[in-house]
Amino acid sequence: MNAPTAGLTPTADVAATSDTAPGSDRTLTSALAEELRAAVGAAHLLTDPSVIASFESDWTGRFRGRARCVVRPADTTEVAAVMAAAARAKASICVQGGNTGLVGGSVPVDGAILLSTARLTALEPVEVISGQVTVGAGVTLAALQRHVRAVGYDFGVDFAARDSATVGGLVATNAGGERVLRYGTTRAQVLGIEAVLADGSIISRLTGLPKDNTGYHEMSLLTGSEGTLGIITRLRLRLVPRLTERAVALVAVDDITAALSVVRKARNRLPSLEAAELFFADGLALVREKTGLSAPFAETYPAYLVLECAGRTDPTEDLLEALADSDAVRDATVATDARGRHTLWAYREAHTESINAAGVPVKLDVAVPLTALAEMVASLPATIAAACQTARPILFGHINEGNLHVNVLDATSDAEAVTDAVLRLVASHGGSISAEHGVGRAKRAWLGLSRSPQEIAMMRAVKRGLDPDGLLNPGVLLDPA
Ligand code: FAD
Ligand code: 2HG
Ligand code: ZN
């Protein structure tokens, strides 16, 4: 494994204000203001510092930055006009969707223009014959779900931030979530993209052809690019069938090895399996304290799984049989009605908000091969304690992908040391320093633990080719130098 990129200071809480970006200045010259006003209309150029403030920090409260103004374009043409004006003034641009990202990528630094996608909310009719839809990048995941469910379809990605996270944000981060086991990550749902490049030009490929081998796949390049290569304005998305017959199980187990054995059996026996999520006793206790949820079982167990099956016919019997057949199950409860399913999911989905209610966490989203998961988890407490004695780690995640969310409370003053220790441990087990949230500003300095110098050089070449002046989200993913 490679060491963190030489010469970089690992990102800490202040990092969002310390990068030197092109045009790094809070001043909005009258010429630029005039061009932006002409692009989006006076009502959608925001310059009042008290209004802009709400766009300048992230969801966790850990990252803060500065914007010289906020623009809210209504369509691709307006986005292109904003980008062209920014390019002429050599002013940087930070794109913000729902601002639920957890790696500081949606926070403007050094007086960037904050481009909000809040008005890119067009929902075109579902094309029933192909099972596809074209939507604006600012459409929230929940709005997309409502739109496509009304005509018998569903979207293959789902997670707890659905009411705020936008489709553009999902694609820009290649979001994962709770259904990767069945449908893959966001990348697998993207059939077309419209985007504005750093020079203000527009690329638009929205025909939705599932087969189209005509050269470089710009959709793949933009997916997961975290606002550094282009501003995504519209998306053509693959839909999946809406499966209404559902059963959710909350399963108590002794440890990771037991949890993995239950998941392996469930995967082999249940083609209807859609989700397999993991959390532990300390996370459950915190969730109960912050939400008031009652205890799911009479006893406390070390670890818990949420399993969900979905199909055209009721999957409950199959799920119960699979659980009964697994020696690793200590206790289980199954819900089939919507309310019961929602309650069982709440034990898992309320982790992020409950942790935030307890303090500002250091958030590390990692993945290791399933064969290394138990050993890595066993090493984590001592690794974290060596970096910060007061640290309180809470772990949970998407077990089928070996994706663990390592949230560390009471460690903000040692954020850098904790991050370094955990990411090195992950790398030593052949893992990824970012499974699904992206690199952002939070993990930029550790990219070399997961990617080779050659890969990073290739990423830099792509960035230079598409954004030679480094205007799009400088300091996110790659060092701006
Ligand atoms: P933002 O936070 O606004 O932006 C994220 C990044 O994408 C930034 O770098 C930004 O510049 C860029 N960006 C946004 N829109 C565009 C665009 N139109 N064009 C170009 N770049 C753009 N993530 C998961 O993967 N799985 C989960 O299970 C999950 N659960 C979550 C649960 C909670 C409670 C919370 C708060 C977050 C969760 N997240 C999860 C993280 C987050 O919701 C995702 O990363 C989401 O995809 C971000 O969408 P957003 O619209 O909020 O993007
Ligand atoms: C989830 O899976 C999200 O709930 C958020 O990815 C993870 O809060 C986190 O660390
Ligand atoms: Zn997650």
Residue 394 CB–ligand 1 contact under 6 Å: no
339's enclosing H/E stretch is: helix 338-349
Q: Does the pLDDT at position 106 exceed 70?
A: yes
Could you list the beta-strand ranges (E) of 59-121.
Answer: 67-71, 93-96, 112-116
User: Do residue 365 and residue 276 come from a single domain?
Assistant: no
Amino acid at 35: E
Residues 324 and 339 in one domain: yes
CB 411 within 8 A of CB 418: yes
Residues 210 and 142 in one domain: yes
Note the pTM of the prediction, 2 decimals: 0.95
Give the C-alpha separation, 337 to 319, whole Å. 15
Provide the pLDDT for residue 17: 36
Q: Considering 241, 273, 288, which residue would you say is the last residue of a domain?
A: 241
Distance of CA 63 from the midpoint of ligand 1 (Å): 14
270 and 344 within one domain: yes
User: Considering all CA atoms of the chain, what is the largest pairwise distance in Å, rounded to the nearest integer?
Assistant: 71
Residues 338 and 249 in one domain: yes
Rounded to 5°, angle at Cα 131 from 130 and 133: 105
Q: For residue 2, is pLDDT > 80?
A: no
Is 272 contained in some domain? yes
C-alpha span between 309 and 336 (Å, rounded): 10
pLDDT greater than 50 at residue 5:
no
Q: Are residues 237 and 249 in the same domain?
A: no
What is the per-residue pLDDT for 124?
98
CATH number for the domain including 184?
Answer: 3.30.465.10
Kindly state whether residue 219 falls inside one of the protein's structural domains.
yes
**Residue 179 maps to a domain:** yes
Same structural domain, 154 and 224? yes
Question: Tokens 């059996």 appear where?
Answer: 265
Amino acid at 120: L
CA-closest residue to ligand 1 atom 43: 100
Place of tokens 């030593």: 428
> DSSP class of residue 250?
E
* Chain centroid to CA 442: 13
* 172 and 196 share one domain: yes
Asked if residue 366 belongs to a domain, the reply is yes
Using the mean position of ligand 3's atoms as its centre, give its distance from the Cα of residue 83 in Å. 32
Neighbouring CB atoms inside 10 A of 24's CB total: 17
pLDDT tens per residue, range 251-304:
999 999 999 999 999 999 999 999 999 999 999 999 999 999 999 999 999 999
Q: 350: which 2 tokens?
A: 């309320």
> Is 331 part of a structural domain of the chain?
yes
Number of domains in the chain: 3
- For residue 259, give the nearest of 231, 230, 301 by alpha carbon: 301
Residue 102 lies in a domain: no
Structure tokens of 293? 């949820």
Please, are residues 15 and 476 in contact by the beta-carbon 8 Å criterion?
no
Identify the H or E element spanning 426.
Answer: helix 415-428
The answer to the question of residue 479 being in a domain is no
Q: What is the pLDDT of residues 282-292, one digit of tens each?
A: 999 999 999 99
Ligand 1 atom showing the smallest separation from residue 232 Cα: 19
Residue 437 beta carbon below 6 angstroms from any ligand 1 atom: yes
3-state SS class at 229: coil
Question: Whose alpha carbon is nearest atom 35 of ligand 1?
Answer: 161
- Pair 91, 68: CB distance under 8 Å: yes
Q: What is the CATH number of the domain that holds 391?
A: 3.30.70.2740
Q: Is the CB of 436 under 6 A from ligand 1?
A: yes
Ligand number nearest to the C-alpha of 197: 1
Q: What is the per-residue pLDDT for 26? A: 63
Q: What is the DSSP string of 16-56?
A: GGT---TT------HHHHHHHHHHH-GGGEE--HHHHGGGS
CATH number at residue 315: 3.30.70.2190
Final residue belonging to a domain, choices 223, 241, 259: 241
Q: Where are the beta strands (DSSP E) in 126-282?
A: 132-136, 153-154, 190-196, 202-205, 231-238, 240-241, 245-253, 273-280
| Alpha carbon of 176 to ligand 2 centroid (Å) | 10
> Does residue 469 lie in a domain region?
no
SS3 352: helix
φ/ψ region of 477 (left if φ > 0, alpha if ψ in -120 to 50, else beta) reads left
Query: Per-residue pLDDT tens for 391-423?
Result: 999 999 999 999 999 999 999 999 999 999 999
Q: For residues 368 and 347, state if they share a domain.
A: no
Which residues lie across from 395 on neighbouring strands?
406
Query: Same domain, yes or no, for 385 and 429?
Result: yes
Residue 59 CB less than 6 A away from ligand 1: yes
Residue with the two structure tokens 């963190």: 4
Ligand 1 pocket check for 475: Cβ under 6 Å: no
d(CA 323, CA 330): 10
CA distance 46 to 68: 9
pLDDT band, very low/low/confident/very high, at 481 (cuts 50, 70, 90): confident
Inform me whether the pLDDT recorded for 464 exceeds 70.
yes
Q: What is the pLDDT of residues 16-60, one digit of tens each?
A: 333 444 544 567 999 999 999 999 999 999 999 999 999 999 998
Ligand nearest to the CA of 179: 1
Q: In the predicted model, what is the mean pLDDT of residues 224-246?
A: 98
Tell me: do 369 and 397 sit in the same domain: yes
Ligand 2 pocket test, pick from 102, 347, 408 with the greatest ligand atom count within 8 Å of Cβ, gives 102
β-pairing, 303-311 vs 331-335, is unpaired
Q: Domain residues for 210?
A: 132-241
Q: End of a domain among 352, 376, 396? A: 352
My answer on whether 145 and 198 are in the same domain is yes
pLDDT of residue 366: 98
Helix (H) or strand (E) holding 375: helix 370-387
